[in-house]
């Protein structure tokens, strides 16, 4: 038999054959070298198995047990497959919602499996879509012999092709035993030594078959470093491209109308707001297109800064597109600024999906003719029928809510327009440099003066009645209130409060003498606008809402915010919701209601939320709990997906990778051979997308 090399087609690996090779090919694994990047998701050994009777909700665990029963369930949550796995201490339910047909054939009573995943509670403890390892035969022996065995991410699709975690293990162990090449290491030895990183060859093989648990982390760090290096390479490359571009439309005059607009504001801009307006407008005068991130905590007053910059562009004869993630927010922007802009001769208008066809046509025609200076809107702005005469400035509010494609489409409607993206999620510096290294950053660090700190408490939901009395009391004192619900209507799947039932109940119950309204995603936009208008004007006392009001909504007179099932929200989202109050001079209170049967993690989160009001701290804690990917939309950023690296935990590696790249880019001429090789490797590698499995 020919020797196994990195480039050998997978078909020649023992145990693969044409059919499995095809299934793997569909997932992007064609050569032996590709498959080595199919990293295990878990490892199994005797030390990390938890007795079923002792597991806790929200924990990630491995349990080992015997199949006690299995079968398809219908109704409620829809068709699903359930396996009851039991050991001496108790039973747990394993559930699959996809690939039911496949799982039906897999299980037999009495078989022994190890199952790994996060534990939930719904009428009993359960793991949804666990990773499985059948333990009756050889793996059992391996585990008992004290080996650490890899458990691979699984999908019904892979399983159908005969690639269970166990057969995948046969494949990888064969490759690791028979590979003759050393996997070439593009990292210079000096860098490896300085960072104390393993040789690549060792890291790749030992991450599948580690000698001990400590080695797993060492392998991961090496593989993570390579990923981060590639990620940052792409950021640097983008930056280089921008510097090479010269704008067609120029912004030259610092506008007189901007000053008039600022003079007319009902408040004084803070010195920080003035500073960032200057940063932005100065940058717009450069010959290269601006790419800038404006960030600052919820309520710090980013909108007025962006509007001033937009006005500056308009005064220079350019059109501006201002995109927000929700209709409510886009409408509010127009309502807040249209008149003030009009006073200085700037025309602003609105385009969202819920205008009538005729209205859309009119707005689009006026925009194409250049009659609208600043067009506010939602993602409706990116539709093909929307064109501009001279789009020179694109503003994206709550930018992490948009995908890279959506942002790109809007951008492409102009010729190298300036770009300002905004986010309320504060970003630690190292992360900002990594993810937005190609953007310049403006930061607003503090809130406008006169804001009273928000008082936040959390309570278990059995005191809901008292909380409602408290709300009544707040309204008697001249305030207004929000109550946030996780669902619109009753759901059979989740025993959660919903806004429709709450509305029916509360408006004739405890709040019967108050004006109560509700908003959610299914209320017609006209009606929703009326309600929000009335709420802002003080004609509505209590607004029941889903998280549609999460971003942006601004009513300075709201002094109470109640969040139902607060334990179901992430910290960053809770913080964003909290930002709906405390926007005026009155002191506001937030009450987070949580289930009385809370897991330790959820309890910690509640306590953290109550005790911390600094957005930066919240963002860091949230990253630690959830990983930064979700928070900063890395998944949507168009950058390569990270499989070994964690942007939060590996901040040290990220910083080293950044410094290394800075050297490659800035001192290209003086690089030694090893560094030059690395540079070339990155240049070639960046075009080739890393393959990965979605979902797992
Ligand atoms: P965010 O940064 O979260 O987008 P907004 O732009 O919505 O915050 O501003 C929050 C509130 O603060 C708005 O009501 C806005 O009018 C007000 N505001 C902004 N700047 C100031 C200021 N300098 N003084 C007082 N109020 C301000
Ligand atoms: Mg905002």
Q: What average pLDDT does this structure show over 342-370?
A: 96
Q: Decide if pLDDT at 633 tops 50.
A: no
Rounded CA gap, 565 and 546, in Å?
A: 12
Ligand nearest the Cα atom of residue 583: 1
CA distances 585 to 261, 418, 452, 597, 642, Å, are: 23, 35, 6, 36, 44
SS3 category, 566: helix
Ligand positioned closest to the Cα atom of 300:
1
Report whether residue 299 contacts ligand 1, using a CB cutoff of 6 Å.
yes
> What is the band of 139 on the pLDDT scale with cuts at 50, 70, 90?
low
Whether the CB of 308 sits within 6 Å of ligand 1: no
Q: What separation in Å is there between the alpha carbon of 376 and the centre of ligand 2? A: 13
pLDDT for 686 equals 53
**Atom 18 (ligand 1): residue with closest C-alpha?**
301
Give 665 Cα–ligand 2 centroid separation in angstroms.
Answer: 36
Where does the pLDDT of residue 485 fall: very low under 50, low under 70, confident under 90, or very high at 90 and above?
Answer: very high
How many angstroms does the Cα of residue 530 sit away from the middle of ligand 2? 21
Q: Which 3 state secondary structure label does DSSP give 538?
A: coil
Question: Considering Cα of 245, then 247, then 253, then 258, what sign does the dihedral take?
Answer: negative
**Ligand 1 atom closest to residue 269's alpha carbon, by position in its atom list:** 23
State the average pLDDT over residues 654-660: 89
Q: What is the DSSP string of 288-319?
A: SPPEEEEEE-TTS-HHHHHHHHHHHHHHTT-E
Residue for token digits 């480039």?
A: 7
**Ligand nearest to C-alpha 615:** 1
Q: Specify the 3-state DSSP secondary structure of 333.
A: helix
Output the pLDDT for position 423. Answer: 85
Structure token digits, residue 591: 């009450």
Residue pair 151/131 in contact (Cβ under 8 Å)? The answer is yes
| pLDDT class of 138 with cuts at 50, 70, 90 | low
Q: How much is the pLDDT for 635? A: 45
- Cα–Cα distance between 359 and 52 in angstroms, integer? 61
Is residue 689 over pLDDT 50? no
Distance, C-alpha 558 to centroid of its chain: 28
CB of 340 within 6 A of ligand 1: the answer is no
Tens digit of each residue's pLDDT (9 = 90 or more) over 405-418: 788 889 999 999 99
Helix%, strand%, coil% for the chain, nearest 5: 45, 20, 40
Contact 583, 554 (CB under 8 A): yes
Q: What is the DSSP letter of 484?
A: E
Residue 428: is its pLDDT beyond 70? no
Residues 6+ apart with CB under 8 A from 384: none
- pLDDT of 630: 45
Residue 507 has pLDDT above 90, yes or no: yes
Whether 694 shows a pLDDT value over 50: the answer reads no
Q: Which residues, other chains included, contact 26 with Cβ-Cβ below 8 Å and sequence gap of 6+?
A: none
Of 268, 273, 303, 588, best ligand 1 pocket probe by most atoms within 8 Å of the beta carbon: 303
Mutation choice for ligand 1 from 301, 330, 398, 553, CB with most ligand atoms inside 8 A:
301
Residue 474 has pLDDT above 90, yes or no: yes
269 pocket-lining for ligand 1 (C-beta < 6 Å): yes
Q: Is 418 in the pocket of ligand 1 (CB under 6 A)?
A: no
Question: Which is nearest to 240 in space by CA: 531, 438, 461?
Answer: 438
The DSSP 8-state label assigned to residue 557 in this structure reads T
**DSSP codes joined into one string, 249-266:** S---S--HHHHHHHHHSS
Mean pLDDT of 330-336: 92
Give pLDDT tens digits for 277-325.
999 999 999 999 999 999 888 888 999 999 999 999 999 999 999 999 8
| Confidence band of 542 (pLDDT split at 50, 70, 90) | very high
Q: What is the C-alpha separation between 604 and 582, in angstroms, rounded?
A: 24
Which segment, 92-106, 198-212, 436-450, is predicted with the most confidence on average? Answer: 198-212
Label residue 634 by pLDDT band (50, 70, 90). very low
Say how many Å lie between the CA of residue 191 and the centre of ligand 2: 43
H/E stretch holding 44: strand 42-44
CA distance 427 to 382: 27
User: What is the position in ligand 1's atom list of the atom closest to the CA of 336?
Assistant: 16
Q: Which residue has the tokens 């585990």?
A: 143
> pLDDT tens digits, residue range 598-632?
777 788 889 999 999 888 778 777 776 665 444 44
- Ligand 1 pocket test: pick from 426, 448, 536 the residue with the most ligand atoms within 8 Å of its Cβ: 448
Mean pLDDT, the chain, integer: 85
pLDDT of residue 576: 86
Distance CA 471, CA 466 (A): 9
Report whether residue 273 contacts ligand 1, using a CB cutoff of 6 Å.
yes
What per-residue confidence (pLDDT) applies to 200? 93
In terms of pLDDT, which residue wins out, 652 or 1? 652
Q: Is the pLDDT of residue 435 over 60?
A: yes
Q: At what angle do helices 600-611 and 615-626 cross, to 10 degrees?
A: 170
The answer, yes or no, to whether any atom of ligand 1 lies below 6 A from the CB of 298, is yes
Counting from 1 in the atom list of ligand 1, the atom nearest the Cα of 270 is 23
Give the pLDDT confidence score for residue 1 in this predicted structure: 56
How confident is the model at residue 559, as a pLDDT?
94
Is the pLDDT at 493 greater than 80? The verdict is no
């Amino acid at each position: 038999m020919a020797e196994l090399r990195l480039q050998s087609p997978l078909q020649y690996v023992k145990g693969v054959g044409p059919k499995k090779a095809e299934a793997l090919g569909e997932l992007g694994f064609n050569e032996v070298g590709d498959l080595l990047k199919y990293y295990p998701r878990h490892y199994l050994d005797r030390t990390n198995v938890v007795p079923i009777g002792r597991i806790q909700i929200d924990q990630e665990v491995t349990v080992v047990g015997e199949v006690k029963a299995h079968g398809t369930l219908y109704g409620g949550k829809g068709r699903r497959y359930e396996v009851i796995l039991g050991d001496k201490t108790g039973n747990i339910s394993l559930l699959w919602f996809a690939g039911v047909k496949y799982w039906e054939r897999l299980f037999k009573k009495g078989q022994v499996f190890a199952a790994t995943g996060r534990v939930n509670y719904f009428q009993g403890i359960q793991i949804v879509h666990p990773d499985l390892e059948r333990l009756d035969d050889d793996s059992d022996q391996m585990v008992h012999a004290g080996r650490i065995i890899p458990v691979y991410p699984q999908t019904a699709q892979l399983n159908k092709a005969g690639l269970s975690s166990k057969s995948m293990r046969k494949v990888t162990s064969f490759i690791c035993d028979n590979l003759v090449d050393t996997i070439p290491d593009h990292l210079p030895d000096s860098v490896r030594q300085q960072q104390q990183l393993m040789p690549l060859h060792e890291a790749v093989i030992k991450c599948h078959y580690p000698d001990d648990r400590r080695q797993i982390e060492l392998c991961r760090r090496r593989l993570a470093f390579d990923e981060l290096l590639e990620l940052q390479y792409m950021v640097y490359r983008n930056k280089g491209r921008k510097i090479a571009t010269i704008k067609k439309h120029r912004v030259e005059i610092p506008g007189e109308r901007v000053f008039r607009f600022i003079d007319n504001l009902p408040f004084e801009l803070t010195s920080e707001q003035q500073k960032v307006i200057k940063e932005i407008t100065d940058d717009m005068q450069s010959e290269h297109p601006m790419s800038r991130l404006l960030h600052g905590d919820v309520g710090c007053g980013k909108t007025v800064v962006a509007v001033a910059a937009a006005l500056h562009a308009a005064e220079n004869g350019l059109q501006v597109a201002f995109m927000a993630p929700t209709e409510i927010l886009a409408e509010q922007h127009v309502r807040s600024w249209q008149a003030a802009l009009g006073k200085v001769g700037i025309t602003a208008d609105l385009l969202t999906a819920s205008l009538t066809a005729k209205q859309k046509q009119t707005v689009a025609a006026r925009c194409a003719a250049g009659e609208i200076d600043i067009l506010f809107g939602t993602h409706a702005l990116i539709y093909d029928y929307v064109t501009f005469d001279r789009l020179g400035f694109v503003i994206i509010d709550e930018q992490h809510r948009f995908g890279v494609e959506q942002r790109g489409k809007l951008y492409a409607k102009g010729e190298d327009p300036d770009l300002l993206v905004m986010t309320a999620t504060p970003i630690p510096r190292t992360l900002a440099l990594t993810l937005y290294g190609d953007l310049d950053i403006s930061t607003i660090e503090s809130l406008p003066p006169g804001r009273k700190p928000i008082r936040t408490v959390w309570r278990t939901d059995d005191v809901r009645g008292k909380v409602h009395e408290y709300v009544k009391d707040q309204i008697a004192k001249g305030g207004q209130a929000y109550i946030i619900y996780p669902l619109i209507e009753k759901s059979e799947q989740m025993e959660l409060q919903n806004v429709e039932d709450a509305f029916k109940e509360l408006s004739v119950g405890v709040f019967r003498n108050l004006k109560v309204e509700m908003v959610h995603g299914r209320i017609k936009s006209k009606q929703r606008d009326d309600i929000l208008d009335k709420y802002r004007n003080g004609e509505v006392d209590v607004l029941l809402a889903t998280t549609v009001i999460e971003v942006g909504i601004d009513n300075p007179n709201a002094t109470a915010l109640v969040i139902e099932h607060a334990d179901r929200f992430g910290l960053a989202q809770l913080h964003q919701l909290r930002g709906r109050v405390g926007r005026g001079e009155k002191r506001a209170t937030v009450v987070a209601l949580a289930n009385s049967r809370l897991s330790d993690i959820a309890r910690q989160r509640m306590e953290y939320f109550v005790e911390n009001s600094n957005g930066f701290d919240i963002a860091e804690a949230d990253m630690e709990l959830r990983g930064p990917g979700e928070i900063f939309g890395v998944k949507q950023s168009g950058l390569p997906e990270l499989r070994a690296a964690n942007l939060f935990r590996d901040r040290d590696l990220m910083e080293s990778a950044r410094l290394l790249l800075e050297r490659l880019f800035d001192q290209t001429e003086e690089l030694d051979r090893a560094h030059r090789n690395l540079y070339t490797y990155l240049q070639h590698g960046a075009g080739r997308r890393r393959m990965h499995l979605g979902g797992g």
